[in-house]
Structure 1
């Protein structure tokens, strides 16, 4: 049985960043991942899954050495962020208001993962592809059983294995959540307009519609609607789906042609505890959020950063101390719960067609646009 200081289960964006940071800090780290990512190729197709990376996450990826690769590969900066309803001007945040070069970048999820994996040092032991078949805890160690590599043990196991976390379930950590009434259709489109510097969301009673710019004449569109509607749209031919998009999205989108699409249901889930014994949760394993503002991966990277700071402040032999893991949970649970509640608040506010409420939210967007210092404070929190 091979023994490590830390085993990270899940080599996606968040898990890979944790494993990389801890390995660079001198700990004996193993990463267990079900599917090894492909090596980056310049001609590889765009990933339908993209994230709006804020500047906090950008600094984290820079620290890990991944950001310089992403700059050489593909990413799209945005300098403006807009939220509006109907044909109203709505609320716009700009980089100029904060004296910044940009607010964030739209980056393909697969590229972030590939850039992190390319930075893995020799001392980071990778077990992939690997299937976890068991997890147990003893007084001194946690033990992970894999189909391909047998038993592994460590002082601490970090679960970064997604919203349906197998490790969370094996450890008996419950969660609270629900399925939303909406589903999400993601579309890759060719655009008549060149690369834009703005990402926007238009709110509708049936759900928001968003545009995220990509490199060149490309963009990612997100269409939230009822499950049945989304499934019907996803079943259309690409030419017919393109026509539906042109009719449903605002004219500012310009002409587009859908090249690919996929859909998925929306769920909220929050673990009842972020740690149990020698297991600790990060990212989607701890919390799944309505992706309304694209904050999921940013929250996950914030988890990763705080957990690494906490672990590296301890003696090597005390990585799984209850006090240490409680510090991590105390800092991250409140921030994650706040963002989850804020996204649910937007979800409820903009899905209600009562005339007084509709008037109030349109007035609220107008007042927020003119709020000056308050608007800058909110935008700084979201970006920095």
Structure 2
């Protein structure tokens, strides 16, 4: 008999959510996280309806609603004019909550379920042996081998285990550089705003506690608070105050997809399976949706003593392709543009915001259909 039902390599938001879903149904889950301290980086903030449904199933949806900020809507602006607006509400809620709080709520839930995260625990290697997976792990006491019926690889975009498995990692479209900073909002509201300007995108998302996240595309060096402040002012005419000592964080938005997600009893999950532009938390929400889809298949396979996960690889690939198409569209809308390109882009945004197409635009923004 294997030592565990499932081992999850990586305690990011996707790995922990899957752990909650499995542990709630009595599965023996070991979650290994190589970092000993909690990740306090701001990172993803958006919680979309498909992700919220997964959080509900994991038992933390109400806590996320209580701490998160429910957005009233989103607006798209360019050259001082509002081009389109969408509204959110009870049927399609969109929330913002800094990722450290989402992490904390999932960790607390896992502890209550009797499956706390094993920190300082690294998965070094894994190989399949008959009806189980042998996993080599290391911690402060050294290394040891353990076994599980399944191994979930949720160790992120730069997954070492994915490379160990020899799985292809294919680029989809172009990448782009962004910077972001969270600052106090002097006039807080619950509306997200996108400025698709000729010099490049500027986004602002309201956060709980009277703060706002600002995101700027098309960076130049040196990247510091002064440059960020001037970029926002030059592109939008808006002045933002960045407190002393706060430096914008830089990141690259890119699209990749693993050649396959299911390899017998080893499954790639979350960012290890697909990289989606992180703007708006799309990758995190897609990973949660994958975990929600995977959980009943894993539980059924464990009951049957089987290894098959019917349709999961195909359905996951289709959902990732849909999400990447949406993300690629957003990135095109946010690139620097010539006057001719800017005029065409503004016309398209106005059309998407018109009454006949507004429902489709809302579906696009809220990640409907995953």
Q: 2:343 aligns with which of 359, 376, 382?
A: 359
Distance in 1 between residues matched to 2:176 and 2:97, nearest whole Å:
25
Distance in 2 between residues matched to 1:365 and 1:151, nearest whole Å:
55
Structure 1 range deviating more: 202-211 or 5-14: 202-211
Q: Structure 2: which 5+ runs fail to align?
A: none
Question: TM-score when scaled to structure 1?
Answer: 0.85
1:37-186 equivalent positions in 2, closer than 5 A: 37-38=37-38, 47-72=41-66, 74-95=67-88, 100=90, 103-120=93-110, 121-124=112-115, 126-148=117-139, 150-177=144-171, 180=174, 182-186=176-180
Secondary structure in structure 2 of the residue aligned to 1:359:
helix
Is residue 209 of structure 1 aligned with residue 202 of structure 2?
yes
Q: Structure 1: which 5+ runs fail to align?
A: 40-45
Distance 1:255 1:382, change over 3 A: closer
Q: How big is the shift at 1:183?
A: 1.2
Is residue 268 of structure 1 aligned with residue 255 of structure 2?
yes
Match of 1:13 in 2: 13
Q: How big is the shift at 1:262?
A: 1.3
Match of 1:294 in 2: 281
Distance 1:340 1:178, change over 3 A: closer
Question: TM-score when scaled to structure 2?
Answer: 0.88
Structure 1 range deviating more: 272-281 or 289-298: 289-298
Q: How big is the shift at 1:70?
A: 3.5
Q: Deviations over 1:159-218 (max 9, x none)?
A: 11111112211111111016945312111212221x211112112355421101112331
Distance 1:381 1:369, change over 3 A: closer
Distance 1:355 1:122, change over 3 A: closer
1:280-291 equivalent positions in 2, closer than 5 A: 280-291=267-278
- For the 8 Å contact 2:197–2:236, the answer to whether it is kept is no
Distance in 1 between residues matched to 2:222 and 2:117, nearest whole Å:
41
Distance 1:49 1:33, change over 3 A: same
Secondary structure in structure 2 of the residue aligned to 1:81:
strand
Distance 1:4 1:206, change over 3 A: farther
Q: How big is the shift at 1:17?
A: 0.3
Distance in 1 between residues matched to 2:156 and 2:289, nearest whole Å:
15
Distance in 1 between residues matched to 2:115 and 2:240, nearest whole Å:
47
Q: 2:233 aligns with which of 240, 243, 247?
A: 247
Q: Deviations over 1:61-101 (max 9, x none)?
A: 233222333455x4222111122332232221112xxx637
Distance in 2 between residues matched to 1:290 and 1:202, nearest whole Å:
18
Q: Deviations over 1:21-42 (max 9, x none)?
A: 1111122211111124549xxx
- For the 8 Å contact 2:107–2:117, the answer to whether it is kept is no
